Amino acid sequence: MPSVARISLRYTCLDSYELRARASADPGGLAEQWLEDIEACKNAVSIIGTLFVFNLVFRFNACYDRWWESRIFWGDIISKCLELGMMNRRWFNHEELQDQLSRFIVVYSYACKSLLRGKTLTSEGEDGTELVRKGLLTKRELQIMHSSPSWQPHFCLDVIREVIVKLHMIPGGEGLRIDDNNKIHGQLFRCLDNTLKDMNTLIGNCIRVRASGLPASYDAITMTSFITFFLLASVVWSAAIGWMTPIIVFMASTIIMFLILMGSKLVDPFGLDKVDIPMECFCATIEAQLQAVDQRSKSVIAMCEDKTRSGIGRRRESNPTFHIPKL
C-alpha cells in the first residue's frame, strides 16, 4: 500500500503538472496528445475498477458466509446440548449415571472448541485442567481421552451413548422413568439417538468450515486487481484532480485493504481474533445452563407430583382465555 502511494505521488504531482505545462507551451503537441490519451482511458479504468470491486465483494461475501455459517452451527450445538441435558433429567432415573451424562455433555462443548483450534483438552491454554478442577472430569478420564486416537468430541459422544445403554440395562427398568414396555419408549430412544446424530453432524460441519479455506486463486486475483487498478487509476485521475490524487489513492486503498484483511480474518472463524466467534462464551453458556437444568430437575419433579390442584375447577368453568380467529 505505501508503494502505491509513493508511485502515485511521483507520477501525479510531478508528471501531470509537467504535461500540463508542456501542453500549454506547445498546443497540439505531444504533451497535449498524452493528456488526451489519458482522458480517453477513463472508461477502461472504470471497467477495471468495476471488475475489481465485484471480485472484492464476492470474496468478502464468501468469507462472511463461512463466519455466519459457523455461528449457526454453534447455536445448534448449544441447543442440542441443552436438549440432551433436559432429556437426561426427565427420562432417566439413576442419579450417578445422569450426572456422568451431564458432565460429558459439557465436556463435549469444550472438546469441540479445542478441536476447532487444532488442539486437545490437554494442550496449553485449553480447558482440560480446569475441567478436572471443577469436577467435570477426573484425571483418569482426561488421561484416557488424551491417549485415545479419536477426535475428543466423538469420544464424548461415545461415552454418552454408553451411559444411555447402561441406563437401559439396569434390571427391572430402574434406570428409566418410563416403563420400557410402554409404546412411547421407542420414540423417546429415537429422540435421544437423533440428538446425538445431530451433535455428531454439527462437529463435522465445523471441521469442514475450518479445513476448507478459500481457494488460493481468490487472494491472487484480488491482490493483482488491487495493484493494477490503483496504479492505472492514479495516472488517469491525475489529469483531473492533480495533487489530490495521492491523498485519494491512499485513503481508498487503505479502506479496501482493511476489507481484504477483514475477509482474511473471517475465513477461519474459530481462532482467537476479535472477529472470531466467542466459543469460550458458548461453552460457558452450555455449562451454566446444564447446571441450571440439573439443579431444577428435582424441583420440577416435586412440583408436578404435588397433589394440590387449586383453581382447576374454576378454570374449567370460566371462559377460555384465547380464541380462534374467524377466517
Quote the DSSP letter at residue 22: H
Residues 93-143 pLDDT 10s: 888 999 999 999 999 999 999 999 999 999 888 999 999 999 999 999 999
Task: Specify the higher pLDDT residue, 51 or 44.
Answer: 51
Q: Which of 316, 237, 172 is nearest to 13 (CA)?
A: 237
Report angle CA 224, 9, 260 to the nearest 5 degrees. 30
Residue 276's contacts (CB-CB under 8 Å, 6 or more residues apart) are: 265, 268, 269, 270
* 158 burial type by CB count under 10 A (0-12 exposed, 13-18 middle, 19+ buried): middle
For residue 285, how many C-alpha atoms fall within 13 Å in the half-sphere facing its CB? 14
274 in Cβ contact with 82 (< 8 Å): no
Residue 245 is predicted with a pLDDT of: 76
Distance of CA 56 to the CA centre of its chain: 21
What pLDDT, on the 0 to 100 scale, is given for residue 47?
86
Check residue 29 and give its pLDDT.
57
Q: Summarize pLDDT for 134-184 with one digit per residue, the tens.
A: 999 999 999 999 888 889 999 999 999 999 999 888 887 788 887 767 677
| Cα distance between residue 276 and residue 15, in whole Å | 46
**Sign (positive or negative) of CA dihedral 157, 163, 169, 174:** negative
Which cell is 12 given?
501525479
Q: CA-CA-CA-CA torsion for 230, 232, 238, 241, nearest 10 degrees?
A: -50
pLDDT band at 249; cut points 50, 70, 90: confident
